[in-house]
Amino acid sequence: MNQRPTRAEIDLDALAANYRALQEAAGEREVLAVVKANAYGHGAVACSRALEEAGARWLGVAIVEEGVALREAGVSARILVLNGLFDGQAEACLAHDLTPVVYRLESFADLQALASSRGEKARVHLKVDTGMGRVGVPLGDLPAFAADLKRYPEVEVEGLLTHLADADIRDLDYSREQVARFGRAAEAMAAAGRPVPLRHFANSAATVRRLGGEAGMVRPGIMLYGARPAPDFDPSVPLRPVMRFLTATAYVKRVPPGSPVSYGRTFVTKRESVIATLPVGYADGVPRKLSNRGEVLVRGRRLPIVGRVCMDLTMVDATDFPDLAVGEEAVLIGAQGDGRISAEEFAGWAETIDYEILCGVSSRVPRVYLPGDEATACESSS
C-alpha cells in the first residue's frame, strides 16, 4: 500500500557529523549520545545504530523500556538509563545489560538482591542533585548515603553524575557553582571510601562551552540532532539539521472572497484564493498554536497556514501559485530550494522549544532514513 506523503526524513550522515563535531569539542572525554524519547523523535534504533557506527560507545535513554527496545534491536553499546529504575525494573535492567542511574537506596537494595542471586556485580551511576531540583541525592545527604552503600557490596558505583539547570544561558555563574558542588560530591564519595572513577555533568550546552570541572564523559542530546539548546545559543561547532518534516498537498481549490477555512472560521479569504490542504495535523506533531501563524515551504517559498490546524489536516494559502497541483511537496521543518524553516522557528510559532517539537513528531509519521536502503527506508518511529 502506498503511504500518505507525510513523513520525517532523517539524515543519518548529518547525525554522524554532529556526533563527530561534539566529540571534537569534548576532547578526551567520552561522548555519551542521548537517544531518549525515540532519539528526540528521530527514531531511536536507526539513530543508535548510526551513532555506534560513528564511534559512540555509550548511549543514554530515559527509561528501562527504551533501553530494552534498543537491546532487542541488537544495539550493543553501553546504555545508561538516565531517569533510573521504577519498582520491579531491576531485573529487566540487569538482564539486558543496562546501566541504571540511581539515587534511592531502594534501587541499590533491589540491585543487590538480584546481583547476588545471579553471582555478578551490578554497575550503576549515582546521581547527585547539585541544583537542578529534579532527581538525585541532595548534596547534603550524600555523606550519609555513601556510608550506607557498604550494605550493597555487589552494586558497583561506576559513575557519578549531576545535571545542570541552565548551562545554555549567557551567565554561567550558576553552572559553575553546580560544577563546584559536583566536585564536592566526588570528594564526599572518596571520603566515604567510595571514589568514583567516571564523572559526568555536561549536556550539549556545557559540552560545547567546555565548562570546566573534572569529568570523563559528556552527555549531549539536542545538538546531536542539529538543533540548539536555546534560540540565542551559539553552538560554536558546525551542526547539520537531521530531521526534515514534510508532506505533500492533498487537495487544492480556488475559492471566492469571503470563504471560511477550518474550524471556528477563524480565517476568511479576503480575495479570490487558492487554498491547499496538507495531510498533516496536530496528531502528527503540528501544534494547534500554528493556526493562522505558522508557515510551510512550497516550491522553496513560504506559504502561511490559514485557519485552525486540525487533527489530521492543515490548510495553507497558496494563492501565489495558481497552478499548484495535488502531490506537490510541502516542508514543515527543513530546507526546500532556497527556503528553510528551522525547528527553532517552528518552535517559536508554537511558543515552545525545539526539544518539544522534535520529540512531538508523532509515531503516525513514518521516519525515512537517509542515506537509505530498502531495509531502513520506511522504518516507523520506534
Q: Which is nearer to ligand PLP, 80 or 297 (CB)?
A: 80
For the question of residue 36 being annotated catalytic, the response is: yes
Cα separation, 179 vs 343, whole angstroms: 30
The residue assigned the cell 570541572 is 213
Query: What residues make contact with ligand PLP under the rule CB under 6 A?
Result: 34, 82, 163, 203-204, 219-222, 229
Residue, CB closest to ligand PLP = 221
Q: Which is nearer to ligand PLP, 17 or 113 (CB)?
A: 17
Cα separation, 331 vs 342, whole angstroms: 11
Q: Are 61 and 36 in contact (CB under 8 A)?
A: yes
Minimum distance, C-beta of residue 360 to ligand PLP, in the bound complex (Å): 15
DSSP designation for 263: G
Q: Are 316 and 280 in contact (CB under 8 A)?
A: no
Minimum distance, C-beta of residue 235 to ligand PLP, in the bound complex (Å): 11
Phi-psi region of 131 (alpha: psi -120 to 50; beta: other; left: phi over 0): left
Please identify which of the residues 150, 251, 253, 263 carries the catalytic annotation: 263
Q: Which is nearer to ligand PLP, 243 or 261 (CB)?
A: 243
Cα separation, 206 vs 203, whole angstroms: 5
Q: Which is nearer to ligand PLP, 220 or 287 (CB)?
A: 220
Q: Which is nearer to ligand PLP, 132 or 147 (CB)?
A: 132
What is the number of other CB atoms lying within 10 angstroms of the CB of residue 375? Answer: 9
Q: Is the bond preceding residue 371 a cis peptide, omega within 30 degrees? A: yes
Q: Which is nearer to ligand PLP, 189 or 205 (CB)?
A: 205
Please identify which of the residues 36, 40, 152, 369 carries the catalytic annotation: 36
The number of helices, as runs of H, and strands, as runs of E, in the chain is 11, 21
Minimum distance, C-beta of residue 301 to ligand PLP, in the bound complex (Å): 32
Cα separation, 170 vs 54, whole angstroms: 31
Measured CA distances, 137 to 34, 101, 133, 152 (Å):
22, 11, 10, 17
Minimum distance, C-beta of residue 315 to ligand PLP, in the bound complex (Å): 33
The cell numbers describing 16, all together, are: 554522524
Cα separation, 292 vs 306, whole angstroms: 5
The residue assigned the cell 566515604 is 192
Minimum distance, C-beta of residue 36 to ligand PLP, in the bound complex (Å): 7
Cα separation, 224 vs 203, whole angstroms: 11
- Sorted by sequence, the CB contacts under 8 Å of residue 34 that are 6+ apart come out as 40, 59, 60, 82, 219, 220, 221, 224
Minimum distance, C-beta of residue 146 to ligand PLP, in the bound complex (Å): 21
Residue positions annotated with a catalytic role: 36, 263
